[in-house]
Amino acid sequence: MSWRDAASLAWSGVGRRFGRTVLTIFSVALAAALLTALLAVAGTARTRVLSQLTRGGPLAGIRVEAAAPNFAQLQSDDPTPGAPRPITNGAVAEIAALPEVEAVLPVVSVPEFVIPSISPTSGGRGPRPFADALVGVSVRDPEILPVSVVAGRLPSAGSLREVCVTEAYLNRLHIPTGQADRVVGTHLALGAPRVFPGLAFDQDRGLWIKPEIVGVVAQDAGTGAILGSVQLARRQLAFAQAGPDPGGSFAVPASQYSGLLVVAKGLNDIGPARQRIAAIGYSTSAPQQLIQSVLRYLHVVEIVLSGIGLIALLIAALGIAGAMLAAVRERRREIGVLKAIGARDRDVRRVFLVEAGIIGLIGGVVGTLAGVAMALMLGGAVNRYLTQQGLAGVRATVPLGLLLASVLGSTVLALVAGVAPAQRAARLPAREAVAEG
């Protein structure tokens, strides 16, 4: 009997005893749903936790400071930097050429006077200027920036008219994070300071711009309440650096770059990359040990959750085996007749195996879809809670590999569960065809 014929016969067999078949499929579906949902939620939580650790940036991110390295603390995730040391274009090129480095993003930081255009929500006064900093980064590759968007969007690449603000800006205006949307679309005045030496006294001037706030972000690229394009920051910095900064009153940096964001090729490349950057002469920091520690714990959690799902599948497999053994008992005469009309042992075995596989496949597909729905619903509920708390939301994702593994795993497990009943059916003697009742 061909596999196709066996499948036809098995398919017709699945329809018999409809209630029992439905219950068996349901048990497989429940187990597959549980496994899929648990692993999807675990995967989403893993992404979220790691994203929090890296502030939205890549796992293999390294921060390079415009300072000499502290060789006594090279192994530390966050060493105390040494003496200030400007980052030159040559140093940037040297770091970018390292074999462990995937990408280098310069960070430009420039002190600014900030005048918001909207008033604080409390305090009863109009907009109050304050001193802060504009952090300029290349927004062309947002996925490797340690920036996560809370409201709105990032500035367009190279834009001189758009900026984002951070929660520190919201705090100045006494605006809760949950109402971050209020500042999106408004403008603020930014003034880069510069000292113009005079005969009798120096004059302070500012290069004023009035960009639009297009988003609110949480960022870890640099210290500053304003985030903009690197082109905007460079223009402001060039103005500020053109004048003297007597006594460092405006804290105008001497370096072109306040730091670099370096992306290593992998987690295992972080250590070697940091050593090489230290050899070039700069201090680095990276949450490498923290991430590896967290990954180990997350892995344990995933193993435990997988184990729970697998136990559920195992219970479902026992159900399949039990249902099929009952089917073999009930169909003794039919099996005998099949053999009487010419079926071999392996033909009978094939039919029952395919029957088990069909139950596993249907249950796996239904359960996987249900698991995806459960994960998405759960992710939506968590997302609503997080945003209500003013935290960055979470988006549940279900990798295609997980879907395929769930369906395939259910089918394979059902086939394994069907082996013993199929073997018992195959071994039934043909004389059952003429046996009583």
Partner 1 sequence: MTNPTSDRPSATDAGVGGAAIRVRALSHAFRGPEGTVDVLRDLSLDVEAGDYVAITGSSGAGKSTLLSLLGGLDAPQTGTVEVGGTNLHGLRGDGLAAYRRATVGFVFQHFGLVETLSAQENVELAAALAGLGRAARRTEASRLLDAVGLSDRAGHRPAKLSGGERQRVAIARALVNAPRLVLADEPTGNLDEESAVGVIGLLERAHRRLGTTLVLVTHNRMLAARGSRRLRLVDGSLVQAA
Q: Contact residues for partner 1 (CB under 8 A)? A: 1-2, 5, 9, 12-13, 15-16, 333-334, 336-345, 347, 429-431, 433-434
Among residues 366, 376, 349, the alpha carbon closest in space to that of 411 is found at 366
Per-state percent for the chain, helix, strand, coil, to nearest 5:
55, 20, 30
Q: How far is the CB of 326 from partner 1 (least distance, A)?
A: 16
Task: Pick between residue 3 and residue 385 the one whose CB is nearest to partner 1.
Answer: 3
Q: How far is the CB of 336 from partner 1 (least distance, A)?
A: 7
Task: Pick between residue 21 and residue 406 the one whose CB is nearest to partner 1.
Answer: 21
Strand partners, 84: 67
C-alpha distances out from residue 246 to 195, 204, 249, 425, Å: 8, 11, 6, 95
Task: Pick between residue 2 and residue 389 the one whose CB is nearest to partner 1.
Answer: 2
Q: How far is the CB of 30 from partner 1 (least distance, A)?
A: 26
Q: How far is the CB of 363 from partner 1 (least distance, A)?
A: 20
Task: Pick between residue 9 and residue 407 the one whose CB is nearest to partner 1.
Answer: 9
CA 142 to CA 56: how far, in whole Å? 9
Q: How far is the CB of 405 from partner 1 (least distance, A)?
A: 32
Contact 177, 167 (CB under 8 A): yes
Task: Pick between residue 8 and residue 256 the one whose CB is nearest to partner 1.
Answer: 8
DSSP label at 193? E
Q: Tell me the torsion sign for CA atoms 403, 408, 411, 417.
A: negative
- Say what the alpha-carbon torsion angle 373, 378, 384, 389 is, to the nearest 10 degrees: -160
* b/e 416-427 (16+ beta carbons within 10 angstroms → b): bbbeebbebbbe
Task: Pick between residue 301 and residue 340 the one whose CB is nearest to partner 1.
Answer: 340
Q: Which stretch of DSSP H or E encloses residue 209?
A: strand 203-209
Task: Pick between residue 5 and residue 181 the one whose CB is nearest to partner 1.
Answer: 5
DSSP label at 60? T
Q: How far is the CB of 335 from partner 1 (least distance, A)?
A: 10
Q: How far is the CB of 370 from partner 1 (least distance, A)?
A: 28
Write the CB contacts of 199 (distance below 8 Å, at least 6 apart in sequence). Answer: none
Tokens representing 283 are 């201090």
CA 218 to CA 394: how far, in whole Å? 14
Q: How far is the CB of 38 from partner 1 (least distance, A)?
A: 37
Q: How far is the CB of 148 from partner 1 (least distance, A)?
A: 58
DSSP label at 242? T
Tokens representing 394 are 């979470």
Please report, as a single letter, which amino acid is at residue 336. G
Task: Pick between residue 143 and residue 436 the one whose CB is nearest to partner 1.
Answer: 436
Task: Pick between residue 274 and residue 350 the one whose CB is nearest to partner 1.
Answer: 350
Pairing verdict, β 259-264 and 101-116: antiparallel
Tokens 């999106």 belong to 184
Write the CB contacts of 163 (distance below 8 Å, at least 6 apart in sequence). Answer: 134, 155, 188, 190, 211, 212, 213, 214, 226, 227, 228, 232
Q: How far is the CB of 25 from partner 1 (least distance, A)?
A: 17
Task: Pick between residue 302 and residue 432 the one whose CB is nearest to partner 1.
Answer: 432
Q: How far is the CB of 348 from partner 1 (least distance, A)?
A: 10
Task: Pick between residue 48 and residue 331 the one whose CB is nearest to partner 1.
Answer: 331
Distinct helix (H) and strand (E) counts, the chain:
10, 11
